[in-house]
Chain A
Amino acid sequence: MSNSLRKPALSLLAAALTCLGTAAYAGVTDANLAAEAGDNWIHTNGNYAGHRYSTLDKINPGNAGKVKVAWMTTVGGKTDAQATPTVVDGVIYFPQDNKVFAIDGKTGAIIWKYEHKLPDDWGGYNVPFFTGKHRGLAVYGDNIYFLSNDVKMHAINMKTGKAAFVKDYAPEGFPYPKDFAKSKDSNGYFLTVGAMAVPGTIIIPMNATDTGGLQGYVVGADPATGNIKWKANMIPAKGEPGGDTWPEEAKPYGGAGPWIIGSYDPETKQYVTGTANAYEWNPKNRGAGKMDNVGAASIVATNVDTGKVTWRWCGVPGDPWDYDLPQTPLLIKMDGKTVVAQPNKTGYVHYLNIKDGSYIKADKFIDKLTWVKGYSKEGRPIDMVPLPKEGGDPVEIWPGLLGGVNMYPNAYNPKTGLMYLASSESGMKYGFEEIKVISNARHFGAYQEFIWGNEMNRAYDPKTGKVVWTNDEGKPGYAGGMLTTAGGVTIYTTQGGSFRITDAKTGKTLYSMDTGVAAKAGPATYTAGGKQMIVQALGGTPGFGRDDAHKAEFGHMLIAFTVE
C-alpha cells in the first residue's frame, strides 16, 4: 500500500519478502504506520503522535463554504458511535455494537459486515453503559484488529471481512465482566478502546476500572496470532518506583486502566498512555487521598520491545475526584525536543519529557477551575479542595468529573502550531458514600450532581500557554472530537450534531450543517475518487448533557462531505 492507493509492484515485493521469511506485510507496512495521515487515515488518532492532523489540503478556507454532503449511511447503531473511522485505500472500517463494517469511502455502500456475539452471561456493574461502544481499530498487514467488548481481539481480513483468528484473553488473566445476578464474581475487563499497531506489535489497552477495578495493563500482542508478548502493569508493583504509594491490599482492585488509545514515539520506542482513576472513587481503601496512587490518573510510558514500564507520572495524586487522565497524549516538538502534552480532565495541559516523564509545565485552558490553585514547579497540585466526608454534604468543584476535556479527542496542527481542544466548562457537586460490594464488584462509593456549562471548542498555543480562540457553542457537552489539516481548517461536530469546518487560525465557522444526531466521535479525512473527503460518525443522545438544553432523540449515521 502506498500513501495513496496500493501499488501492485509494492504488493508483489512485499509478498516476495514474506515468502523469504522476513517480517514484511503485503498490506499496511511499518512505513505506512509511521507516515502522517494523508490519503489514508490508518491510526485512530491520525498518526503515532496522536495529532489527528492530515496533510490533505484540497478543502481549505478558500472553498470550505462550498462543501456538500457526499453520502450518508447507517450501521444501525444501538449506542454511542465513538470511533473515528479508519480508512485504507478508500475503504472505511468502522466498529459499532461489536460489529465491524467495511464501507466504500466514495459512495457509502457497505461492502461487508463482521459480527460478534457477546456471551450470554455478559453483564455487571456499569456494563450497560459500556456495551457496544468502540473507539477505534488498528490496521496492520492485511488485517484489521478489532477489540470486542468481551476481551477478544479479532484479526479480520480487510478484503474479505473474515476472521484470520480470534484471540480470547479471558483465559490469560483478563476475564470479562459477568451479570451480577448470575455470577458470584462479576469483576472483569471490558474493551471499548481501540488497539494500536506499532512495528511488530498490536497494543491492547486492558481496562477494568469502573467495572470493579481490576488493575489496568497495556498488553503487547503478536500480530500473527494475538498471543501476548508482554503485559505492562499500570499500577507499580512492590519495589517499583511508586509501588509504595498504595496499600498493597488495594492494588488488585486499584483500577488505573488505560481506556483511550495512547501515542507512540518511534525514537524511544515508547507507547505513552493516560490511565483511569484509582479505584474505588471513594479513596478510603487506597490511602484516603493521602497516598499518591501512582499509576492511576497518570501518564505511563512502556517500551514496546521489552514491555517494561519506563516511567509513570501521576497528575492527580490520590485521585479523589474521578479525574482520571485517560486522554491521548499528544507528542509534539518543543525547542527541538519531543514532549508529551496531555490535555486532560483537570483543566490543564500537562507537559512531560518523553525520555523520563519529568514534569515541565501545566497550562490551564478552561475559565473556571476551583479544585486546585495550580501546579507546583515539581508538578504537584497546590492547595487541593478538602475532600467531602463520607455520608456528609457534597463539595462543589470545577471542572466536574466530566472534565475540562473528556474522551473526545483533541488535535495538534504542526503548521499553525496550535492545539485544538474539545473542551467544556462544567462543574459538579461530589460526595462520598459507603462502598457497596455486589457480586464481589466494588462500587464507586461516590456520587455526583452535574452543574452544566457550555461546550467550548478552543485553540490553544502550547508555546505561550494561552487560548487563541474559543467557540462557545451555547449548550452543554463536548464536541465529538477534533480534526485539523494542512489546508488550514479545523473540523468538529458539536454534541448537538452541528458539523463545523472552521478556520484553524481564527475559529471562524466556514461551513456548518445541523445533522440532528449527537456526535461522540472525531471526524477523519481521506481521499476517494480523487477527492478529499471528510467522514463523521454520529450516534447516541446528547450526553453527558442529559439536561434540558438538548432536545435530540437517539440517532445513528455516518456522513461524508467533499467539495466538487
Chain B
Amino acid sequence: MRSLVKTIAVGLVLALPVCQSASAEDVPDVNPLSGDAAAIRSGKSDYRAICSVCHGGKADGAGERASSAKTPADLRKFNKGFKKYMELVKNGVQTPGREIKDMPAWGGVLDDPTLLKIGAYLETLAMEGANWKEGVKN
C-alpha cells in the first residue's frame, strides 16, 4: 500500500509545473525517516534549538519571534504533505510587501538529513487533519 501511495505521489509531482523548489523531484513522497526513533530524538532537539523560536516549543505557532506580518504555522496541523514541507523550509515564505522573508530560506544552511529529522519529529505531533504522507495539496 505504501509503495502504491508513493508511486501515485511521484506521478502527481511529475504532472505539476516546475515549482520553485530546487530539485523537488529528488525529494521522496514521504519522509524516509518517518517513525525512526533515533531520527525523531535528534529532530526534536533540532526543532527546539532552531525552529521553536518562531513556531513555539509545542509547534503550535506560538513562538515569541515570529513576525506579526505572517503568523507562523501551527505545525501540528501541517497538511501540505512532505514534499511541500521540504520546499517551504528550503525556500522560505515571502509575505507580499515585506522587506524580508518572514520564514527564512533554510536550504542554504541546513542539510537534508537535518530537515528529514525535524520532519520526522513533527510527524509525531500531528493532530487530526494533518498530512505528512501525500504529495502537494495546496
Report A's interface with B, CB cutoff 8 A.
76, 78-80, 97-98, 117-118, 122-123, 126-129, 131-132, 179-182, 210, 391, 394, 401-402, 429, 431, 433-436, 438-439, 443-445, 447-450, 518, 520, 539-541, 543-544, 546-547, 554
Q: Across the interface, do A129 and B67 meet the contact criterion of CB distance under 8 Å?
A: yes
Of A123, A520, A547, which one neighbours B62 at CB under 8 angstroms?
A: A547
Instruction: Give the nearest-CB partner of A546 in chain B.
Output: B62
Residue B98 CB within 8 A of the other chain: yes
Given contacts A117-B99, A129-B65, A132-B99, 4 further A-B contacts (CB under 8 A): A126-B53, A131-B67, A131-B100, A132-B98
Bound Cα distance from A544 to B64, whole angstroms = 6
Q: Across the interface, do A78 and B57 meet the contact criterion of CB distance under 8 Å?
A: no
Instruction: Give the nearest-CB partner of A122 in chain B.
Output: B100
List B contacts of A79 (CB < 8 A): 67-69, 98
Contacts A128-B67, A434-B45 given; does A447 touch B57 at CB 8 Å: yes
Q: Across the interface, do B54 and A122 meet the contact criterion of CB distance under 8 Å?
A: no
Most A CB within 10 A of own CB, among B48, B54, B108: B48
List B contacts of A439 (CB < 8 A): 109
Residue B105 CB within 8 A of the other chain: yes
List A contacts of B54 (CB < 8 A): 129
Task: Give min CB distance, A178 to chain B, whole Å.
Answer: 12
List B contacts of A128 (CB < 8 A): 67, 100-104
Q: Across the interface, do A450 and B56 meet the contact criterion of CB distance under 8 Å?
A: yes
Q: How many residues of B contact A (CB 8 A)?
A: 37
Q: Across the interface, do B50 and A123 meet the contact criterion of CB distance under 8 Å?
A: no
Residue B129 CB within 8 A of the other chain: no
Chain B: interface secondary structure? loop
Most B CB within 10 A of own CB, among A78, A435, A541: A78
Of B67, B69, B104, which one neighbours A180 at CB under 8 angstroms?
A: B104
Task: Give min CB distance, A455 to chain B, whole Å.
Answer: 16
Of A78, A182, A429, A444, which one neighbours B69 at CB under 8 angstroms?
A: A78
Contacts A181-B107, A181-B109 given; does A546 touch B71 at CB 8 Å: yes
Task: Give min CB distance, A397 to chain B, whole Å.
Answer: 14
List A contacts of B97 (CB < 8 A): 76, 78
Bound Cα distance from A435 to B50, whole angstroms = 9
User: 1/0 per position for B50-74, CB-CB distance to A under 8 A?
Assistant: 1011101110011111111101100
Residue B124 CB within 8 A of the other chain: no
Residue B1 CB within 8 A of the other chain: no
Q: Across the interface, do A541 and B68 meet the contact criterion of CB distance under 8 Å?
A: yes
Q: Across the interface, do A436 and B56 meet the contact criterion of CB distance under 8 Å?
A: no
17 contacts between A and B (CB under 8 A): A78-B69, A122-B100, A126-B53, A128-B67, A128-B101, A128-B103, A180-B104, A181-B105, A181-B109, A434-B45, A439-B109, A445-B49, A448-B64, A449-B56, A543-B66, A543-B68, A544-B62
